[in-house]
Each structure stands twice: as C-alpha cells, then as structure tokens.
Amino acid sequence: MELRPILDRMNFLLPPAPAVRLTVGRGENGIFDSKLGGLPYFPKDMEYPRGKAGSFKGQPLTLLAQLNFEKLPHIPDFPTKGILQFFIAADDLYGMTPDYGEGMTRQDNFRVIYHENIITDEAQLLSGDEIPKYSGGDECYLPFKGEFSLTAEPPVMMTATMWDHRFAKAFVTAYNEFADEPVDDYWELDEDITDELYAMTDFPDAIIGGYPVFTQDDPRMDEKAADCDTLLFELDSVYDKESGIDILWGDMGTGSFMIPRERLKALDFSRVLYNYDCS
C-alpha cells in the first residue's frame, strides 16, 4: 500500500509541530551559552537546586542542559528571551522520579529553571568554585562527562513520531480511510508498514519542540499526564569517537522533558514531565 496518502491524512489529524534541531559538538562554552553540562548561568542570590528524595536528598543537582533563547531561532509559544535550564541528580535514574506517568512531573530530583532576565555582570553569578559539590557516598551516574556545545539549525516542521502516544490512533484512522481491510489496532498493521515508518524517522542529537522519541512507552499514556502535550527539550544518545562525543542514556536511550502548552506560553515551568528510558 502507498504510504504517502495515509501520511498526508495523518498529518491533518496530528499536525506537524515546529521544532529546532540541535547538533552536539565538542568544546568548552561560555556561561551564557546554550550547552550540555559545564558551568551553569546561576545568580548568587538564588537558591541552588538540590535533590529532595532518596540518596540525593539535600545534594546539589547537575546541569544537564542550558538553552539561551536570546541566541536561538524562535518557534511559536517558546520563550524569545532568557535562559532555560535542566538540572538532574546523578543517581541511577538520572534524577527521574520512578513513579510512572503523573508521578514523573514531580521535580524532586530534577529541576527546570527559567531565568527570564539575564544578568550580564558575571560578578553577580556563581563561579565554578562556588557551585555546590556532591558530598554523598554513593556512586554518581550521568549521561555524559564534561560539556558539549549545542548548535541550532533553522526551524522546521516535524511530523509526529511513531512513539508519540497519539500517533497510533491517528495513523489507524488515516490507514482505514484507504485500506481494503481496515484494522482495529496499530499492531495489526503489516510489519513492512511499521518498518517503513521507523526508517522514515529522523533522530536529531537534541531538539526543542517537535515530537518525542522513546525506546519504551510514552508516559503520557497515563491520562493524568496527558496534558504535558508539548516537547520542551529532548536529548538523544550521541556517540562520535572522532569528535570525542559520548552521551549515553543507559543503553542508547533518550531523555525528554514535556510541558502543557498553556504553561509554556505562560513561562510557567513548575509542571514538566521528565522521562528517561533505554532499550
């Protein structure tokens, strides 16, 4: 069966979303730059994020990623200024809450922090020596060591990925409009079709907006978490021996942060679902 008409119809049912793809590079970055790891932008008069549960209770969290929206291409409903940061605990779940679905919005051992107005006087910001250090006895786990740059590409419209919990219903609906033998469930589709859908999927190093990729289930299948409908930021596993890039979420997984669109538009990052999974 020809997939193009089905995909065109599916894109009407589940429209493509604007996205900014980010390429991971090797090298040190400035305190104001978009980056992975390294020294975070952090005002001295703010309380530094710390864990609230388990072995990381009271321990400082680590900067996973920092996005400077004043230097990034703009897409609708995302900030046009300020710095957005993602901090995680260096535990065996990379700071993710173990409670599936709604529980994963609880920012116990991860934190999403937005600095709407950027302080340019570095004397008012924490230096590397002033950043709190982990003092626990447990082994630390993080998806990578060191820091990496993030280089943005021009915005694109990204079609829904087959891992998004809304994809299966939309695709089956579109498929049945063209099929001689309709199906009731996505998993009834011929394997050639699902293989082709997988082969069409683009896997950026990291992305702002668009649609997420999971190696397991979409946690928003929990109805209480379904309002987190917008992908805020996702970082994939990235390995490039020549460039010295080694980012690994468990066994080649991804880390994703999702937010209700209305909260994103209001610059309210108090409700964000953080999911890490791997094969």
Q: What is the pLDDT of residue 13?
A: 96
Give me the residues of the chain with pLDDT under 50, please: none
Please, what's the b/e burial string for 44-83 (b: 16 or more CB within 10 A of its CB; e: otherwise)? eeeebbbbbebbbeebbbbbbbbbbbeebbebeebbeeeb
Handedness of CA 220, 223, 224, 227 (dihedral sign): positive
Where do the domains of the chain lie, and which CATH numbers do they carry?
A: 3-277 (2.30.320.10)
Whole-prediction pTM: 0.95
Q: Which residue has the tokens 């001295």?
A: 44
For 11-24, what is each residue's pLDDT tens digit? 999 999 999 999 99
Q: What is the pLDDT of residue 155?
A: 98
Give dist(CA 120, CA 17) in Å, integer: 33
